[in-house]
């Protein structure tokens, strides 16, 4: 257990997740991040299976990996074909990777019903493929596909496949829970029996169909498995794979296995979010260890406890995985939440002062009207700033008007099938009133453009601020089009991200409130020199 290797298959197995399609450049960028994380193996894909994977292995020759070895994935030779004539094995050799992981069937039923060949021929396919690749100078890992299902159905044959691969010279036998249905005690029992039958290193590759991939992997490690396979964020086909963002800290912090360095593990949250963004997916807030909500605290009792002891309601220090705690403010919050969050933005509030009571009552009153500050920290921070004596808002809305016309004006540029949105905004900065107008690809975009037009003269840095997400939530569905709505806007300046909220029965007003908060927050937190 002192030397567990991390084998990342995000670029191959993870790319099979529904909705994910990495380009070859995406895969290069992710591989570089994985190398920085310190994983020992990066499975780049299946050369020859598709043009992108083939392109990746060509481009990967220029990768200067410091920690990881590149692995190519493939299969044993097809039945009835000599290994030297098998196109798939030739692609593995031509890939330039020094290591090949080949998948071989360990389930007797899979051999006869899916491969439609004999049990003996399958053993020959495994043996001859390994020997051929090794004769070409490659290291070989066997992905023992359907091992645990095959072991339950026909344990003798499943073990025989592993022994065949061991005798042929495989460096590691990776036991696969391919269908993801095994239980931890089944994993443990099977691994114990395998260790009695083979001499070479064992690995584990668990799928998450029963929500047990991480538990099954840890069970295998406790029985002496030395290679752990998984993906960043648990990406993969169906319900995904064992999540390395949970496995790595579990190995290091729970089992005391130094699979990567402390400094590398502190980059785990960064890598998790990088892979999600590269896949064009919103980072999952509720992932253990790396999610934005993994160390969020809402209950007043919890926040009060954390103020006294960091470990009161956190099982690890978030800094260890590059994450940080978040204090959520809502109508359920206590005074401790308000004080703690205000302190994080540099505003010290007396524990028993009237300011805290007033802010708490303000939050409760606004949340009763549809606002919600749990995921709109920037809007709450503005409530704190505005409550301070002497606070002066950087701008003040005087008036606005939004016009949506069905017929397209001559010369107007729109992308919505002939609809034109135009906004006129009157905003006061100091003693000067700016009256601007702008068009947009919708009413909110038009408002955004018009507001920026009026403010850029005074706050040039706002040019870097972009809206990255816009969500509308109907709060009272039973009232139909009269419903109160909540708008949540996410913004970035290319360095930081922040979220603001607005609520109203009028979607334009709700959007304006969130939009204006976004601009005001940036100006307040980025004062001009």
Provide the CA 410 distance to its chain's centre, in angstroms. 45
- Residue bearing the bigger pLDDT, 370 or 7: 7
Lowest mean pLDDT among 124-128, 177-181, 190-194, 293-297: 293-297
Q: Within a 13 Å sphere around the CA of 38, how many CA atoms are in the beta-carbon half?
A: 16
Radius of gyration over every alpha carbon of the chain, rounded to an integer in angstroms:
29
Residue 52: count of CB within 10 angstroms of its CB: 16
Per-residue pLDDT band for 478 (boundaries 50, 70, 90) equals low
3 has a pLDDT exceeding 90: no
Question: What is residue 288's predicted lDDT score, i.e. its pLDDT?
Answer: 96
Helix H, strand E, coil C: the string for 119-169 is HHHHHHHHHHHHHHHHHCCCEEEEEEECHHHHHHHCHHHHHHHHHHHHHHC
SS3 284: coil
Question: What is residue 190's predicted lDDT score, i.e. its pLDDT?
Answer: 98
What are the phi and psi torsion angles at 50 (to 5°)?
Answer: -155, 160
Question: What is residue 375's predicted lDDT score, i.e. its pLDDT?
Answer: 74
> d(Cα 251, Cα 219) in Å, to the nearest integer?
11
- Residue bearing the bigger pLDDT, 497 or 411: 497
Q: What is the mean pLDDT of residues 403-417?
A: 61
Q: Provide the β-strand partners of residue 8.
A: 42, 230
Helix H, strand E, coil C: the string for 206-273 is EECCCCCHHHHHHHHHHCCCCEEEEEHHHCCCCCCECEHHHHHHHHHHHCCCCCCCHHHHCCHHHHHH
Span 421-475, pLDDT tens digits: 899 999 999 999 999 999 988 888 999 999 999 999 999 999 999 988 888 888 7
SS3 351: coil
Residue 132: count of CB within 10 angstroms of its CB: 22
Return all residues near 345 (Cβ < 8 A) that are at least 6 apart: 381, 384, 385
| Domains, the chain, with CATH or none | 5-278 (3.20.20.70), 296-387 (no CATH), 395-458 (3.30.160)
Share of the chain above pLDDT 70, in %: 91
Span 383-393, pLDDT tens digits: 999 988 888 99
Span 60-98, pLDDT tens digits: 999 999 999 999 999 999 999 999 999 999 999 999 999
């Amino acid at each position: 257990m002192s030397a567990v290797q991390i084998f990342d298959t995000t670029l191959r197995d993870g790319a099979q997740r529904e909705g994910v399609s990495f380009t070859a450049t995406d895969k290069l960028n992710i591989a570089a991040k994985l190398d920085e994380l310190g994983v020992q193996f990066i499975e780049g894909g299946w050369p020859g299976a598709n043009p992108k994977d083939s392109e990746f292995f060509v481009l990967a020759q220029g990768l200067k990996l410091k920690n990881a070895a590149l692995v190519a994935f493939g299969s044993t030779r097809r039945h009835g074909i000599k290994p030297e004539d098998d196109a798939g094995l030739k692609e593995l050799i031509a890939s330039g990777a020094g290591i090949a992981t080949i998948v071989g069937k360990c389930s007797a039923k899979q051999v006869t019903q899916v491969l439609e060949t004999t049990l003996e021929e399958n053993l020959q396919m495994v043996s001859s493929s390994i020997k051929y690749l090794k004769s070409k100078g490659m290291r070989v890992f066997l992905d023992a596909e359907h091992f645990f299902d095959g072991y339950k159905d026909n344990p003798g044959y499943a073990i025989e496949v592993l022994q065949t691969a061991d005798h042929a010279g495989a460096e590691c036998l990776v036991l696969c829970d391919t269908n993801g249905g095994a239980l931890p005690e089944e994993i443990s029992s099977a691994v114990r029996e395998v260790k009695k039958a083979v001499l070479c290193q064992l690995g584990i590759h668990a799928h998450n169909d029963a929500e047990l991939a991480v538990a099954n992997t840890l069970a295998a490690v406790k029985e002496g498995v030395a290679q752990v396979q998984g993906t960043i964020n648990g990406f993969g086909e169906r319900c995904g794979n064992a999540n390395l963002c949970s496995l790595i800290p579990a190995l290091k912090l729970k089992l005391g296995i130094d699979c990567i360095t402390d400094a590398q593990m502190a980059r785990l949250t960064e890598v998790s979010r990088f892979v999600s963004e590269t896949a064009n997916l919103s980072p999952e807030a509720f992932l253990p260890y790396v999610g934005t909500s993994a160390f969020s605290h809402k209950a007043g009792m919890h926040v009060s406890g954390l103020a006294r002891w960091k470990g009161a309601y956190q099982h690890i220090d978030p800094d260890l995985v590059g994450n940080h705690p978040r204090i959520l403010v809502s109508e359920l919050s206590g005074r401790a939440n308000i004080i703690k969050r205000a302190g994080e933005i540099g505003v010290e509030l007396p524990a028993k002062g009237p300011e805290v009571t007033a802010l708490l009552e303000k939050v409760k009153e606004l949340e009763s009207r549809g606002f919600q500050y749990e995921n709109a920290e920037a809007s709450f921070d503005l409530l704190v700033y505005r409550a301070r004596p002497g606070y002066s808002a950087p701008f003040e809305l005087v008036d606005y008007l939004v016009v949506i016309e069905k017929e397209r004006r001559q010369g107007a540029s729109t992308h919505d099938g002939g609809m034109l949105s135009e906004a006129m905004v009157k905003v006061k900065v100091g003693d000067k009133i700016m009256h601007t107008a702008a068009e947009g690809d919708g009413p909110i975009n038009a408002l955004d453009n018009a507001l920026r037009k009026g403010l850029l003269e005074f706050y040039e840095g706002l040019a870097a601020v972009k809206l990255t997400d816009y969500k509308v939530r109907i709060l009272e569905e039973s009232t139909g089009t009269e419903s109160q709505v909540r708008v949540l806007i996410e913004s970035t300046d290319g360095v930081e991200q922040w979220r603001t909220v607005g609520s109203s029965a009028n979607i334009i007003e709700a959007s304006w409130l969130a939009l204006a908060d976004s601009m005001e927050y940036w100006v307040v937190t980025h004062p001009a020199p």
